[in-house]
Amino acid sequence: MAKTKQEKLDAKAEKKYYRYHKKKTRITFGDIAFNVFDYGFFGLFTILCFFPFYFLFINTISNNDLVQKGQITFFPKGLNIDNYIAMLHVSDLGNAFLVSIARTILGTAVMVLATAFVGYLVTKKEMWGRKFWYRFLVITMYFNAGTIPWFLNMSMLGLTNNFLAYIIPGIVAPYNIILVKTYIESIPGELEESALIDGAGFFTVWRKIIFPLSKPILATIAIFGAVGHWNSFTDSLILMQSAPEFFTLQHRLYIYLNTSSNLAQVMSTGGSSASNAAASMMNQKVLKYTISMVTVIPILIVYPFMNRYFEKGIMLGAVKG
Amino acid sequence: MKFKALSGGERGEGFLWISRVAVFLSVFLLFFPQASPTRITSLIGKNVSLFTSAVSYTSLTSEMGRALSKGWLSYFSVICLYVGAIIMLLGIISSVVAACTSLGNLKLKRLGAPFGLGGSIGVSAGLALIFIAYLQVSETSRPEKVEPMFPAGYFVYLVLGFLMLVSAVAIMIILPKAEKEEKYYMEPKYKLFLMFLPFAMLCFVFAYLPLYGWRYAFFDYSAGGTLSAENFVGFKWFTMLFENDATKADIVRVLRNTLVMSGLGIATSWLPMAFAIFLNEIKVGWFKRIVQTFTTIPNFISWVLVYAIALAIFSTDGFINTAFGGNTNYLMGNSFIWLKMLAWGTWKGIGWSAIIYIAGISGIDQQLYEAATVDGAGRFQKMWHVTVPGLLPTYFVMLLMSVANVLSNGMDQYFVFQNAQNTSTIQVLDLYVYTLGITKGNIPLSTVIGMVKSVVSVVLLFGANGISKAIRGESIV
């Protein structure tokens, strides 16, 4: 069968395309140079991001004397985990760890529940004054009164030197509410309508239908909230001035980084004689490194599992409505 | 049913409105120290509102220690005051419940009416207790130390309590009995609103109420002092920014630091985009994934940890000195602080900021690349003529946002890296406000600076938004 004119033209175009393609696949000097540079740069930068954590880690599991002499640079020597065990005896560190864990879990849970609920409420067109109230929430993202009025306000509310100061102010998070609202609006409305017609109340609809359906977005904001809580430092610094028992782990770490006590002094109260002996071997440098590791390990552990949510989160942020 | 619900409640509607307004005002004024009925002596801080008095015994009594131990004040009267405040708070909460149910049908209104009555009785009882406490305090042996006073807020709450009591009683009497078969009902719009109300309250208390603290900018206030007509200074602190030489020098220095560091940030804001474009040129999947994973980690650690890492690497006994020999503490000293801070910021943030561009690249139409290939474009030409234009809109938004945030670089980073030698170059506006207000206790001046900063930031944000609207036809806020 003879080829039609069109088919001939197509074949010609295809040939032309492959000719260019071939040209492209031919490796030029510029390509090699670029690849070397590109891979080299990213390889180096990755090491730059990874090495500090590795360096801290090998110093905490090596022989403390060698660490003190600065002989641990690339590989650990004299492996042991005594330093981490000694950490258990530093009472204010354990306390700070508990405070950080408590605020992370409690604060995140409360924030996510509230955000899920408010996010649902502001999608309801029937609500009295919905537009006004939604703006009332959203506007707060764009201004703040400043550190000092905020601090005075917190102290007026009795939230200084009070653990609740970590939890309550974070309950209403406007940015997260926007994300959840946008997400809920993308859920088909029929599900909810049929439930409402069947006589379910708004709260039941939220609990049984909307909440389960919005789990993906809730997971994302939960992770961001949790990281924020874990890393939070200034609120502890400003609000807990006379309540050291509520210092967060980050705050404790900051204090340790800026003091020059060794662990024996830190542990002067309590601790067995055996642990005191271990502690006296532990110098200031190791102490700092170990506390840093204790603070960063929870993040490093959850990070691989959370990675995909992180990326989803930033994309959601980009399309906020 | 809806119609019936309205007509049934109409008889008490006037009183319902009185009680709603009174309840709203009493809740609103809970948080304003000036309207607090509990300040019966000058030993109670000027910053103590009725709410504070009821929730925090320690704040209520923070300045009374000496008076209590010397017997100028009896414990009984303080407890009386505290319990009075608590009963008032509970009464107000109970009245709030009543006010909420008053939005429903007759049956709901009847359900709430006893709460209203109980609540207003509670408020009255609380006021009575506070009055007893006042009577006792006024008989103190050392009036010049205790300075008994009758707070203006007491009259305010007296009026509100009276209105609440009268309207609650009237509602109890006037409202007809609901019919037996009537069910509790409230219109959806009010139901939804009431569910939302607690969150609106939280938002008000934590985001709007601090604005009231701006009043400190107009007074000569030191911690624990008072705000009154005598120390009202008008715009003294504002003019001080321009007239007092020491302050002016400070402000100029801090502004310079802030603007330079923000400026460096803006000047390098294209780096994440370049990062994404070059990362996209890496065709080995596992390598790309590893790079992305590890370069994002620093974004998720706190600045304190970044500082810990900086110490481990750059301090006298850190990695650099032990591995390569030397005895320099790279963290002390005042040289290249701005660039160092930029470097740390970039190290922490670039991998994360690049994600949005990486996603942007995968959103670019593949046909554009194919067309470019057909037209004979090489690798770099495609990067420059297809990828970059595809990412520019995103970049533009990011750029505008960073321009709007030019005064807010946060304080965490600079706070942790600050030391005796570099303070003068590292101190940015946020850090300066913290140091001035919290550490040095100069509350009015730091409030003024915070105020000016907030206003300028909002103006910048809306300016940036206007530019965005004009150029792209889309808003960024």
The answer to whether residues B174 and B258 belong to one domain is no
Q: Which residues of A touch B400 (CB under 8 A)?
A: none
HSE (CB half, 13 Å, CA atoms) of B121?
Answer: 7
In a domain, A14, yes or no: no
In a domain, B224, yes or no: no
CB contact under 8 A, A146 and B433: yes
- What is the domain count for chain A? 2
- For chains A and B, count residue pairs whose Cβ atoms are closer than 8 Å: 272
Q: What is the pTM of this model?
A: 0.84
pLDDT at B83: 93
Instruction: Calculate mean pLDDT across residues A1-23.
Output: 74
In a domain, B350, yes or no: yes
Q: Which of B101, B59, B98, B97 is nearest to B81 (CA)?
A: B59
Local structure of residue A123 (DSSP, 8 states): T
If pLDDT is split at 50, 70 and 90, which confidence band does A277 have? very low
Cα A255 from Cα A246, distance rounded (Å): 14
In a domain, B213, yes or no: no
Please write down the HEC assignment for all residues of B267-304: HCCCHHHHHHHHHHCCCCHHHHHHHHHHHHHHHHCCHH
Question: Distances in Å between the alpha carbon of B408 and those of A22, B255, B262, B349?
Answer: 52, 11, 8, 16
The answer to whether residues A254 and A313 belong to one domain is yes
The answer to whether residues A166 and A314 belong to one domain is yes
Q: Which residues of A touch B323 (CB under 8 A)?
A: 73-74
A320 pLDDT exceeds 50?
no
Å between B369 CA and nearest CA of chain A: 12
In a domain, A18, yes or no: no
Question: Residue A69 sits in which domain range?
Answer: 30-80
Cα A97 from Cα A256, distance rounded (Å): 14
Q: Apex CA A103: angle with CA A101 and CA A109, to 5°?
A: 105
The answer to whether residues A166 and A116 belong to one domain is yes
In a domain, B374, yes or no: yes
DSSP-derived secondary structure for B187-252: -HHHHHHHHHHHHHHHHIIIIIGGGGGGGGGGB---TT---SSTTB-TTHHHHHHHH-HHHHHHHH
Please provide the average confidence, as pLDDT, over all residues in chain A. Answer: 82
The answer to whether residues A35 and A119 belong to one domain is no
- The answer to whether B215 and B226 have CB atoms below 8 angstroms apart is no
- Here the CATH number for the domain that contains residue B468 is 1.10.3720.10
If pLDDT is split at 50, 70 and 90, which confidence band does A1 have? low
If pLDDT is split at 50, 70 and 90, which confidence band does A279 have? low
Task: Report B:242-281 residues touching A (Cβ under 8 A).
Answer: 278-279, 281
The answer to whether residues A179 and A268 belong to one domain is yes
Here the tokens at position A1 are: 């069968």
Cα B429 from Cα B411, distance rounded (Å): 8
The answer to whether residues A230 and A128 belong to one domain is yes
Q: B202: nearest CA in chain A?
A: A172
Residue from B50, B206, B281, B353 whose CB has the most chain A CBs within 10 Å, to mutate: B206
What was the ipTM of the complex prediction? Answer: 0.85
Q: A307: nearest CA in chain B?
A: B293
Answer whether B52 touches A (CB < 8 Å): yes
Å between B425 CA and nearest CA of chain A: 20
Local structure of residue A178 (DSSP, 8 states): H
If pLDDT is split at 50, 70 and 90, which confidence band does A268 have? very low
The answer to whether residues A47 and A99 belong to one domain is no
Question: Residue B56 sits in which domain range?
Answer: 2-186
Q: Which amino acid is at B474?
A: E
Question: Distances in Å between the alpha carbon of B114 and those of B11, B96, B102, B375?
Answer: 17, 12, 11, 82
- Here the CATH number for the domain that contains residue A306 is 1.10.3720.10
The answer to whether residues A43 and A106 belong to one domain is no
Here the tokens at position B251 are: 């402000």
DSSP-derived secondary structure for A80-99: --HHHHHHTT-HHHHHHHHH
The answer to whether residues A109 and A233 belong to one domain is yes
10-residue averages of pLDDT along chain B (477 residues): 46 83 92 86 82 84 80 85 93 92 86 91 92 86 80 90 91 82 84 92 93 84 58 75 82 91 93 93 89 89 92 83 78 84 92 88 88 86 90 87 86 89 88 88 86 90 88 76
